[in-house]
Structure 1
Amino acid sequence: MKKAGAFVHADQTTFTVWAPEKQSMKLHLISPQQQELDMQPDGDGYFTLTVSNVGDGAKYLLAPENGQAYPDPASHCQPEGVHGPSQVIDHASYHWTDVSWKGLALSELVLYELHVGTFTPEGTFDAIIPRLDQLAETGINTIELMPVIEFPGNRNWGYDGVYPYSVHHSYGGPEGLKRLVDAAHARGIAVILDVVFNHLGPEGNYFAEFGPYFTDTYNTPWGRAINMDGEWSDGVRDYFSGIALHWYELYHVDGLRVDAIHTIYDNGAVHFWELVYEKLKTARQKNGHPFHVIAESDLNSPRVVKSPEYGGYGFTAQWLDDFHHALYVLLDEKGRERYVDFGRLEQFGKAITDGFVHSGEYVKFRKRTHGAPSVGIPGDQFVVFNQNHDQVGNRVGGERLSVLIDFEKQKVATAAMLLAPYLPMFFMGEEYGEDNPFFYFVSHTEEELIEKVVEGRKKEFESYQWDRDPLNPQETETFEKSKLQWEKRDEGKYRIMLEWNKTLISLRKKNPALCNFNKNDVRFNMLNDRAFVLFRRSADQKTELACVFNLSDETIVWTFPHAQPQWSLLLDSTDEMWSENVQLNNASRKDPVNVGYKISVHGAGVKVLYHH
Structure 2
Amino acid sequence: MEKIDVDKRKLGVNFNENGQAEIVLWAPKVELVEIYYVNENRSEPLFGGEQGLWTLTSDALKPGDLYFFKLDGKVQFPDPATLSQPDGVHGASQATDIEEFSWTDDKWKNIGLKDYIFYELHVGTFTDEGTFAALEEKLDYLIDLGVTAIEIMPVAQFSGERNWGYDGVFPFSVQSSYGGAKGLQQLVNTCHNKGLAVVLDVVYNHIGPEGNHFENFGHYFTEKYHTPWGNAINFDDAWCDHVRNYFIENTLMWFRDFHIDGLRMDAVHAIKDFSALHILQEIKLHVDELIQKTGRNHYLIAELDLNDTRYINPISKGGFGLDTQWIDEFHHALRVSSGQPQTGYYSDFEGVVSLAKSYEDAYVYDGGYSEHRKKKFGTKATENPGQQFVVFSQNHDQTGNRMLGERTSALVSFEMQKLLAGAVLVSPYLPMLFMGEEYGETNPFQYFVSHTDPELAEAVRKGRKKEFEAFHIEGEAPDPMSEETFMNSKLQWQLIEQEPHKTMLSFYKKLITLRKEQAALHVLNRKDVSVECMAEQEVIILQRQHKIQHTICMMNFSKLPQQVKVPVYSPVWHKLIASSDLKWKGPEDLPRTIAEEISLVLPPESFTLYSNEHE
TM-score norm. by structure 2 comes to: 0.95
What is the SS of the residue equivalent to 2:225? strand
Alignment partner, residue 241 of structure 1: 248
What is the SS of the residue equivalent to 2:137? helix
Moved more, 220-229 or 41-50: 41-50
Alignment partner, residue 35 of structure 2: 27
For 1:449, the aligned partner's letter is L
Q: Distance between the aligned counterparts of 1:537 and 1:555, measured in 2?
A: 27
Candidates 237, 253, 263, aligned match of 2:270: 263
Q: Distance between the aligned counterparts of 2:255 and 2:577, measured in 1?
A: 40
Q: Distance between the aligned counterparts of 1:220 and 1:340, measured in 2?
A: 24
What residue ranges of structure 2 are gaps of 5+ in the alignment?
5-9
For 2:606, the aligned partner's letter is G
Candidates 400, 405, 410, aligned match of 1:398: 405
Alignment partner, residue 549 of structure 1: 555
Candidates 304, 307, 321, aligned match of 1:300: 307
1:528, distance to aligned residue in structure 2 (A): 4.2
Residues 1:161 and 1:243: Cα distance change in structure 2 (over 3 Å): same
1:20, distance to aligned residue in structure 2 (A): 2.4
**What pairs with 1:252-401 in structure 2 (closer than 5 Å)?**
252-336=259-343, 339-401=346-408
- Cα deviation 1:446-501 (Å, max 9, x = unaligned): 11111111111111123322111101100111111110001111211101110001
Alignment partner, residue 601 of structure 1: 602
For 1:17, the aligned partner's letter is L
Aligned pair 1:229/2:230, yes or no? no
1:119, distance to aligned residue in structure 2 (A): 0.5
1:333, distance to aligned residue in structure 2 (A): 4.1
Q: Distance between the aligned counterparts of 1:97 and 1:362, measured in 2?
A: 53
Given that residues 353 and 375 in structure 1 are in contact (C-alpha distance below 8 angstroms), is that contact kept between their aligned partners in structure 2?
no
Candidates 574, 579, 589, aligned match of 1:568: 574
Candidates 95, 99, 118, aligned match of 1:88: 95
Residues 1:562 and 1:137: Cα distance change in structure 2 (over 3 Å): closer
1:239, distance to aligned residue in structure 2 (A): 0.5
Q: Distance between the aligned counterparts of 1:427 and 1:437, measured in 2?
A: 12
For 2:243, the aligned partner's letter is V
Residues 1:346 and 1:263: Cα distance change in structure 2 (over 3 Å): same
Moved more, 105-114 or 559-568: 559-568
For 2:458, the aligned partner's letter is E
Alignment partner, residue 210 of structure 1: 217
Aligned pair 1:462/2:476, yes or no? no
Q: Distance between the aligned counterparts of 1:115 and 1:371, measured in 2?
A: 31
Given that residues 345 and 372 in structure 2 are in contact (C-alpha distance below 8 angstroms), is that contact kept between their aligned partners in structure 1?
no
Given that residues 331 and 409 in structure 1 are in contact (C-alpha distance below 8 angstroms), is that contact kept between their aligned partners in structure 2?
yes
For 1:170, the aligned partner's letter is S
For 2:137, the aligned partner's letter is P
For 1:531, the aligned partner's letter is V
Aligned pair 1:533/2:541, yes or no? yes
For 1:464, the aligned partner's letter is F
For 1:200, the aligned partner's letter is I
Number of aligned positions between the proteins: 603
**What pairs with 1:108-257 in structure 2 (closer than 5 Å)?**
108-257=115-264
Alignment partner, residue 69 of structure 2: 62
- Cα deviation 1:77-110 (Å, max 9, x = unaligned): 1110001111111122211111111111101111
- Cα deviation 1:334-374 (Å, max 9, x = unaligned): 24565101024221111001100011111121111111111
Q: Distance between the aligned counterparts of 1:158 and 1:83, measured in 2?
A: 17
1:591, distance to aligned residue in structure 2 (A): 10
1:602, distance to aligned residue in structure 2 (A): 1.8
Alignment partner, residue 415 of structure 1: 422
Q: Distance between the aligned counterparts of 1:432 and 1:89, measured in 2?
A: 40
What is the SS of the residue equivalent to 2:105? coil
What is the SS of the residue equivalent to 1:28? strand
Residues 1:82 and 1:333: Cα distance change in structure 2 (over 3 Å): closer
For 1:543, the aligned partner's letter is Q
Q: Distance between the aligned counterparts of 1:370 and 1:54, measured in 2?
A: 54
What is the SS of the residue equivalent to 2:14? strand
What is the SS of the residue equivalent to 1:165? strand
Given that residues 110 and 423 in structure 1 are in contact (C-alpha distance below 8 angstroms), is that contact kept between their aligned partners in structure 2?
yes
Moved more, 1-10 or 269-278: 1-10
Q: CA RMSD in A?
A: 1.7
Given that residues 126 and 491 in structure 2 are in contact (C-alpha distance below 8 angstroms), is that contact kept between their aligned partners in structure 1?
yes
1:53, distance to aligned residue in structure 2 (A): 4.6
Q: Distance between the aligned counterparts of 2:508 and 2:356, measured in 1?
A: 22
1:532, distance to aligned residue in structure 2 (A): 1.9
Q: Distance between the aligned counterparts of 1:556 and 1:241, measured in 2?
A: 53
Alignment partner, residue 585 of structure 1: none
Alignment partner, residue 7 of structure 2: none
Alignment partner, residue 611 of structure 1: 612
Moved more, 572-581 or 204-213: 572-581
1:405, distance to aligned residue in structure 2 (A): 0.6
Given that residues 336 and 342 in structure 1 are in contact (C-alpha distance below 8 angstroms), is that contact kept between their aligned partners in structure 2?
no
Q: Distance between the aligned counterparts of 2:515 and 2:291, measured in 1?
A: 28
1:592, distance to aligned residue in structure 2 (A): 5.0
Given that residues 550 and 612 in structure 2 are in contact (C-alpha distance below 8 angstroms), is that contact kept between their aligned partners in structure 1?
yes
Q: Distance between the aligned counterparts of 1:92 and 1:337, measured in 2?
A: 47
Residues 1:68 and 1:528: Cα distance change in structure 2 (over 3 Å): closer
Q: Distance between the aligned counterparts of 1:424 and 1:267, measured in 2?
A: 32
For 1:297, the aligned partner's letter is L
For 2:573, the aligned partner's letter is W
Given that residues 527 and 558 in structure 1 are in contact (C-alpha distance below 8 angstroms), is that contact kept between their aligned partners in structure 2?
no
Moved more, 573-582 or 438-447: 573-582
Given that residues 332 and 404 in structure 1 are in contact (C-alpha distance below 8 angstroms), is that contact kept between their aligned partners in structure 2?
no
1:42, distance to aligned residue in structure 2 (A): 3.5
1:603, distance to aligned residue in structure 2 (A): 1.3
Alignment partner, residue 500 of structure 1: 507
Aligned pair 1:451/2:452, yes or no? no
Q: Distance between the aligned counterparts of 2:346 and 2:354, measured in 1?
A: 12
Q: Distance between the aligned counterparts of 1:290 and 1:4, measured in 2?
A: 24
1:607, distance to aligned residue in structure 2 (A): 1.3
Q: Distance between the aligned counterparts of 2:241 and 2:195, measured in 1?
A: 39
Alignment partner, residue 565 of structure 2: 559
- Cα deviation 1:10-41 (Å, max 9, x = unaligned): 3211111011243321111113x232111012
Q: Distance between the aligned counterparts of 1:525 and 1:580, measured in 2?
A: 25
For 2:610, the aligned partner's letter is L
What is the SS of the residue equivalent to 1:241? helix
Candidates 76, 79, 90, aligned match of 2:83: 76
Moved more, 558-567 or 433-442: 558-567
Q: Distance between the aligned counterparts of 1:506 and 1:500, measured in 2?
A: 10
What is the SS of the residue equivalent to 1:164? strand
What is the SS of the residue equivalent to 2:254? helix
1:563, distance to aligned residue in structure 2 (A): 4.7
What residue ranges of structure 1 are gaps of 5+ in the alignment?
583-588
Q: Distance between the aligned counterparts of 1:206 and 1:527, measured in 2?
A: 56
1:392, distance to aligned residue in structure 2 (A): 0.6
1:421, distance to aligned residue in structure 2 (A): 0.4
Given that residues 570 and 596 in structure 2 are in contact (C-alpha distance below 8 angstroms), is that contact kept between their aligned partners in structure 1?
no
Runs of 4+ in 1 over 4 A off after TM superposition: 335-338, 562-565, 589-592
Residues 1:432 and 1:562: Cα distance change in structure 2 (over 3 Å): closer
Given that residues 570 and 591 in structure 1 are in contact (C-alpha distance below 8 angstroms), is that contact kept between their aligned partners in structure 2?
no
